[in-house]
Amino acid sequence: MTRALSQDLRSRVIAAVDGGLSCNAAAERFGIAVSSAIRWVHAWRVEGRVTALPQGGDLRSHHIEVYRDVILAAIDADVDITLIELSELLHRKHEAAFAPSTVWRFLDRHDLTFKKNSARQRAAAPRRRRSPASLVRRTA
């Protein structure tokens, strides 16, 4: 991802356009794209903003916060519910489409992590080591 050009350059381009230069001439003079000069001058004239907006970050995962009570109730009802099942539940009952990864980020933000059940781990078959006798080479 690219990063914003310097604030000093942005201020100089805006000052040059304010001083009478066109956006095209200012862009050529300072070695930037014409579209950047046009956007910067537009933001300055319309919004009064001369600084760059913040880049990146998660802009949409806060939408799932509306369904917080629904998700928590589903987890209380079935502690073994999967992320995919939570996602499908939201889609089916509320027509809200969220990827399982968004549900995971929601749970992570609220410190709701699921650990594997220790009873399941005990019920699993133990790993078996080879006996030392089976490791001895047979000679023919």
Q: How far apart are CA 87 and CA 97, in angstroms?
A: 7
The CA radius of gyration of the chain, in Å to the nearest whole number, is: 29
Q: Are 13 and 30 in contact (CB under 8 A)?
A: yes
SS3 138: coil
pTM greater than 0.75 (yes/no): no
Task: Please give the chain's pLDDT, 140 residues, in tens.
Answer: 467 789 999 999 999 999 999 999 999 999 999 999 999 999 999 999 999 988 887 777 789 999 999 999 999 998 889 999 999 999 999 999 999 999 998 999 888 876 555 555 555 555 555 555 545 555 55
Rounded to 10 deg, the angle between the 100-109 and 68-77 helix axes is 90
* Residue type at 73 in one-letter notation: A
